[in-house]
A and B are shown apart, each in its own frame.
Chain A
Amino acid sequence: MAHAHDAHAHDHHDDHGPAKGIGRWLFATNHKDIGTLYMLFSLLMFFVGGTMALVIRAELFQPGMQLVDPMFFNQMTTMHALIMIFGAVMPAFVGLANWMIPLQVGAPDMALPRMNNFSFWILPFAFTMLIGTLFVPGGAPAGGWTMYPPLSQQTGEAFPMLIFAVHLMGASSIMGAINVIVTIMNMRAPGMSLLKMPIFVWTWLITAYLLIAVMPVLAGAVTMLLTDHYFGTTFFEAAGGGDPVMFQHIFWFFGHPEVYIMILPAFGIVSEIIPTFSRKPLFGYDAMVYATASIAFLSFIVWAHHMFTVGMPLAGQMFFMLATMLIAVPTGVKVFNWTATMFKGSISFEPPMLFAISFLFLFTIGGFSGLMLAIVPADFQYHDTYFVVAHFHYVLVPGAVFSLMAAAYYWLPKWTGHMYNMKLAKAHFWLSTIFVNVLFFPQHFLGLAGMPRRIPDYSTQFADWNMISSIGAFGFGLSQLLFVYIVVSCIRGGEKASDKVWDSGRPHGLEWTLSSPPPYHSFETAPEVK
């Protein structure tokens, strides 16, 4: 805690910069460095998972078996999901939290810098192990990312690697979440009451509580899979009185809050960006906070809508259907407030705003298809079809991922001190938005027509939409290379960014009172918030 001691000695305060060489990153305790590491790691994983998605879409380009064998195809669907969820989306949000929460609450760093280092550096090990499963006998896990037994119990030598990788990711997330909560609760600048916090901080505070509540439940569930496999327990093995359906209950008790873990910070980002470029304060700040909290609460009592077809009693189906539909209310409040924020605003369309508006439209489409899936009798028809695939990709790609793109374009000039190439960023936006719809919208039609998910081959009546979807996939995937180019050239140089970055008169948050880029150690004296 050498940095912390410096804070005592303000008179002869030397602002020492980062350590030299690789040590800066290996032993990083600075929240900005760790935030950068998280985000670069997630960008790498985004491309690894994306490549797997392209293998899937290439095989599905035409009916029949062309490129890969079915076993490998199943490995790709499973690994794509695990890598995108735990490797790309979640670490990207944790990286943003690391960078932005101390800046937004006026704290000098995260509360627990060394745990912060640990929680990041676990991830490369976890994912080396997970990706390593591709090279062991029996291949990578292929039973779906949900790891339902008894199918997942047939995984080859990859099985324990999968379980331990999940344990490590869980440990990393829990530590990250603890760090976020302690920073927010204890290290806010004087005068910043909870209801004066920036909305991104609020959404992350709630997300962090969700993480602590459910990641250990996942750890428990996979531990049970492990002991069933090796130590003769029969949690999910009917032979010993266990029940495989119970795994689904425990898994989705984690799984549904997990969905909101991946979207609540996105809500926070969009709630930061829309006011800036609408030149108006966020409409209904308090309502936004309460809506976020309501969504978090409801996320714990809707899990069984993922498993309507297991043969649960009618009363259970009714409860989970209605509870699920109830989530549309706070979500609707949010969408309304974003729209109301833009209403009569003088809007400008910089890249972050473009992504935020696209998020607003496309996330809402994903929300609506979610409502359709919540209807029990309809769900019996849609279950395990491409309609489900279309639904969750709409909320995760133009939802969570677009919010991350928006966040990168919003804060990148603050982080690097350079403006990026606006023309290219807009091109990246249009390519992404068009191709993401070409990619995922036809999957609604495929699902409604009855095409099952997680299959390498399909009946010929699905051929046309699959081909279009695959074209969209390659277009979307390749467009993301443009994003890498824009980010890398922005890091390396570019027009100098001002402290406020955006000339809209907003934004108001504490991060904009610092220089661009902010000093390596910022807010060593806490700012006063009125």
Chain B
Amino acid sequence: MTEAPLKKANRSLTRQLWIFAAGSFAFGFALVPLYNVICDVTGYGDRTKLVEASSFTAPEDKNRLVTIELLSDSPAIGDWEFRPAVGSIEVHPGRLSEAKFYARNLRNQAVVAQAIPSIAPLQATKYFHKTECFCFTPQPFDAQQERELTVRFIVDPKLPVNIDRLTLSYVMYDAKSTS
């Protein structure tokens, strides 16, 4: 190619490649709604279900034991001591069970806390029914107050047989910073 057409061709290809790069940048952000859509469609890690009370009943399956591991996380926001009372419990599917967490506000002022739950593996989310949970509503704490927090739940006997172990984890946040 001679000089002038080459310059023109270079410029136009460069422009196209910059548009490509900009498209990739946009695609990175498009992955966010895409991810949420996939979660909604499949019901994996369904966030609305995780924080809603359910009135579920099913016959207890005494032949099966599912291990529920309990985890707690403290986020960068806020200042909490937060841990499960025990590391794991074993439950029969269909039976109403209970787990306790312990939380303490480490600051010298009253704070409203919000716990956010999560279940792993994700596909087990729809088989985990909470009848009562400290994560349903914001929890007020006085300065330095410590409290026991309770969650009551029923594991659906329809939980796929290849899952014998669930992890229920909570993160404790300052409710103010979440709004």
Contact = CB atoms under 8 A, between A and B. Distances in A.
Are A and B physically bound partners?
A: yes
- The CB with the most chain B CB atoms within 10 A, among A186, A213, A314, is that of A186
Given A216-B24, A314-B123, 12 more contacts: A4-B3, A112-B10, A112-B14, A178-B14, A182-B13, A217-B25, A217-B27, A237-B75, A239-B178, A243-B39, A253-B31, A313-B121
A488 interface: no
A243 B28 contact: no
A125 B73 CA distance: 37
A510 B32 CA distance: 47
Nearest to A181: B17
Contact of A240 (B10, B29, B44, B178): B178
B122 A312 contact: yes
Interface string A504-525: 0000000000000000000000
Interface of B: 1, 3, 6, 9-10, 13-14, 17-18, 20-25, 27-29, 31-32, 35, 39, 42, 44-45, 47, 73, 75-77, 114, 116, 118, 120-123, 162, 167, 171, 173, 177-178
Q: Is the interface of B mostly helix, strand, loop or mixed?
A: helix
Nearest to B114: A239
B32 A246 contact: yes
Contacts of B29: 220, 224
A444 B3 CA distance: 56
Interface in A400-423: none
Interface of A: 4, 7-8, 111-112, 150, 153-154, 174, 177-178, 181-182, 185-187, 212-221, 224, 234-235, 237-241, 243, 246, 249-250, 253-254, 310-314
Nearest to B47: A241
A153 B76 contact: yes
15 contacts: A182-B17, A185-B13, A187-B6, A216-B23, A216-B25, A218-B28, A224-B29, A239-B77, A239-B114, A246-B35, A310-B120, A311-B120, A311-B167, A313-B42, A313-B123
Contacts of A174: 21
A313 B160 CA distance: 11
A75 B75 CA distance: 21
B122 A313 contact: yes
A33 B8 CA distance: 25
Nearest to B121: A311
Q: Report the 6 A-B pairs with minimum CB-CB distance, sorted nearest first.
A: A220-B28, A311-B120, A216-B25, A216-B24, A311-B121, A217-B28
B24 A212 contact: yes
Given A235-B32, A239-B173, A7 B25 contact: no
Contacts of A235: 32
Contact of B13 (A8, A186, A215): A186
B117 to A, nearest CB: 9
Contacts of A215: 21, 24
A314 B3 contact: no
A213 B24 contact: yes
Contacts of B27: 216-217, 220
Given A187-B6, A314-B162, A221 B28 contact: yes
A243 B76 CA distance: 15
A215 B20 CA distance: 11
A79 to B, nearest CB: 21
A214 B3 CA distance: 32
A234 B77 CA distance: 12
B5 to A, nearest CB: 10
A217 B23 CA distance: 9
A42 B120 CA distance: 42
Nearest to A185: B13
A213 B32 CA distance: 17
